[in-house]
Structure 1
Amino acid sequence: MIRKAILAATLMLALPAAARAQGAGSLNLYCSATLEWCQPIARGFERETGIRVSLTQKSTGEMLAQLRAEARNPRGDVWWGGTGDPHVAAGEEGLTEPHESPRISELHDWAQAQWRQTRGRTVGVYASVLGFGFNTELVARRDLPAPRCWADLLNPAYKGELQMANPNSSGTAYIVIATLVQMMGEEPAFEYLKKLHGSINAYPRSGTAPITAVARGETALSISFVHNAAEEAQAGFPVGHAVPCEGTGYEIGSMSIIKGARNAGNARRFYHWALGAEAQITASREAKKLQTMSNKGVPLTDGAPNMATARIIDYDNARFGASVERRRLLARWDKEVGALPR
């Protein structure tokens, strides 16, 4: 019997990785971070567990729409990354389910707070501050001042020089709206957005598209998360960034288990793994990402913007993540801002 057990163990070790993965099962991972980050997360979990990962990447707004469309027949197991507001909305609509990992106590306060506020339906995996990106070469060549404050963006010199994503598909752009509403009040915020519209040359679907356009010299300025600007600068592009002087909002990149997941056990295993310091360090380094990770054991990467030194508002995730409030603000933006001529 002992010889048989040893032989069986030896044969298991000799199996190719694909065969072991098949035995471990599979995971359908929905990811709303950039593909450059989604892939290391998927590969890291596969290496650690032998579980085969099928990856789908879309922006948070698009992924929320997909979850709604698949509500009666869920195809995804876990949703990782992307701004937290759509995750909060998904939980409120019963599209995700509560889960408590033993690692909750290892997380920063902002990640734990999101988990408590949503009654365990979503948890923070990273955070980043909202600000501006600008192409240093274009700004100098066109004799434009580098923006430092929200008020600066209304400078007539910026007409046609600015990009912001479309809030209907981009969680980043929705956070812009929610941040301005919380800072200014709703009426002044929408007046500001109407004035800002005249400077905007495009509303791309993805939240990272504006800073990519800045880095490639396709536009001078963007409203972006500052870690994205820092990443472009580290990659060698002429990109600078600023955190608005009046204050700003921030994102909590989140993770949720999809209700009715076909591979629920593997979804919970991924959830626990993804909150670990080792997984977060490895994936963020491989992807060269500069967000603040949610596990307190993850050090801030060199060149990463420091949330502790930014003037950030007390962002109301519960209110602005609620699906009713989100739909209302987006409908108002469509009617009063998005429909304006350019």
Structure 2
Amino acid sequence: MLAAGAASAPASAQGSLVMYCGVQEEWCRAMSTTFEKETGIKVAMTRKSAGEVYAQLRAEASNPRGDIWWGGTGDPHLQAAEEGLTLEYESPANKDLQDWALSQWKAAKQRSIGIYAGALGFGYNTEQIKAKGIPEPKCWADLLNPKLRDDVQVADPNSSGTAYNLLATVVQLMGEDKGFDYLKALHKNVSQYTKSGAAPAKAASLGETAVGIVFIHDAVVFAVQGDPIRAVAPCEGTGYEIGSMSIVKGARNLENAKKFYDWALTPAAQALGAAAKSYQVPSNKNSPVPPQAPKMNEMKLIDYDFVKYGSSAERTRLLTKWDKEVKALPK
């Protein structure tokens, strides 16, 4: 019994770090194992979607078990910052970061920093679309085609930062009333709301669904490996994420969390993303941008209001409305 209890307890000995990771498993493993190898600090890593990590931090607020939250969309990081779940920190690496990364840090009142950026869009299976005899989708409006009924996948915004970004993007792009009308119409074509934001890209690559709404870089992963999937930045315009990193308030291994934070902002650490087949745009100005990374400067991006849509009140309001007016609708 004692052994079982020790095994389930969070790492708290000197030389340990408990990491909550919000990107793909391969990148999470690359970050944790490389840091462990370079520093000798033993890392206990758990991979979850951004919304799930945020919920876990809230649940553990009175007895924090994590030390560092690395990755995942910035909105939940901002919500955690607003609720005092994360800690203020200024890294020496800040001087080397892109303006958008520092904007996240300022919006979070120094409790979160931008580590990568990625634009929202979708990936479609070229073979499936051809078989349906419909034009290749280029716009959000194209996903409402009746011939795509039960053939679109997107995550649930309650668990997924990607899907919450979609919800906030549609509201900002179309206005709240028309945005929710769009999501209600889209609901008819959604076969399932997945737990993970990136899962619909894999489903599209395998032909399990015709279209997956994801961050564009998640679709690029499968296009690069030769799957019949094409990534799209929607013609009407789209939102984007600032993937972020935060130190958990009350971290038991605070000094190691700071070491990881500083290390994760270095060009060498950020280059691990492309090596793990993740093609986001890194936040350090000296980090090489993967050639496969979507060209965000060529997209029609909205002026995404990270402060408003990263607030707990707005997130709660929009998710409650989505649950009631969209997800609860019959198919």
Q: TM-score, normalised by structure 1?
A: 0.91
The alpha-carbon deviation at position 145 of structure 1 amounts to 1.8
1:132/1:147 contact within 8 Å kept: no
Q: Deviations over 1:45-68 (max 9, x none)?
A: 112211110001111111111111
TM-fit CA distance, 1:285: 3.1
Q: Which residue among 113, 127, 130 is the counterpart of 1:123? A: 113
* CA deviation after TM superposition for structure 1 residue 286, in Å: 2.7
Instruction: Extract unaligned runs of 5+ from structure 2.
Output: 1-11
1:321 counterpart residue number: 310
Q: Which residue of 1 aligns with 2:278?
A: 289
Shift of 1:220: 0.4
Query: SS at 2:244's partner residue?
Result: strand
> Where does residue 221 of structure 1 map in the other structure?
211
Question: Partners in 2 of 1:285 and 1:305 — Cα distance?
Answer: 12
- Asked if structure 1 preserves the Cα contact closer than 8 Å seen for 2:155 and 2:200, the reply is yes
User: How many pairs were matched up?
Assistant: 320
CA shift for structure 1 position 307: 1.2
Aligned partner letter, 2:296: M
* Distance across 1 between alignment mates of 2:205 and 2:262: 35
Equivalent residues of 2:267, 2:288 under 8 A apart: no
Per-residue CA deviations over 1:66-87 (Å, capped at 9, x if unaligned) read 1111001100000000111111
* CA-CA distance at 1:141 after TM superposition: 1.9
Residues 225, 42 of structure 1: alpha-carbon distance in 2 compared, 3 angstrom cutoff = same
Instruction: Give the direction of change, closer, same or farther, for the CA distance of 1:184–1:285 in structure 2 (3 Å limit).
Output: closer
User: Do the aligned partners of 1:84 and 1:252 also contact (CA within 8 Å) in 2?
Assistant: yes
Q: CA deviation at 1:236?
A: 2.3
Contact 1:144 1:158 in 2 (8 A): no
**Long gaps (5+) in structure 1:** 1-21
**Displacement of 1:168:** 0.6
Provide the secondary structure at the position in 1 that maps to 2:194.
coil
Instruction: Name the structure 2 match of 1:7.
Output: none
1:321 to partner: Cα distance = 0.5
- Indicate yes or no: 2:63 matched with 1:73: yes
Which has more radius of gyration? 1
In the alignment, does 2:235 pair up with 1:241?
Answer: no
Runs of 4+ in 1 over 3 A off after TM superposition: none
Matches within 5 A, 1:100-119: 100-119=90-109
Output the CA distance in 2 between the equivalents of 1:217 and 1:279. 34
CA RMSD of aligned residues (A): 1.2
Matched, 1:63 2:50: no
SS in 2 for 1:254: strand
Aligned residues of 1:24 and 1:50 also touching (Cα < 8 A): no
Q: What does residue 340 of structure 1 align with?
A: 329
Structure 2 equivalent of residue 196 of structure 1 = 186
1:144 Cα deviation from its structure 2 partner: 2.5
TM normalised by structure 2 equals 0.94
TM-superposed CA distance for 1:222, in Å, is 1.3
Q: Which residue number in structure 2 is paired with residue 257 of structure 1?
A: 247
What letter matches 2:34 in structure 1?
Answer: G
CA deviation string 1:10-43 (max 9, x = no partner): xxxxxxxxxxxx9961100010111111000101
Letter in 2 for 1:105: K
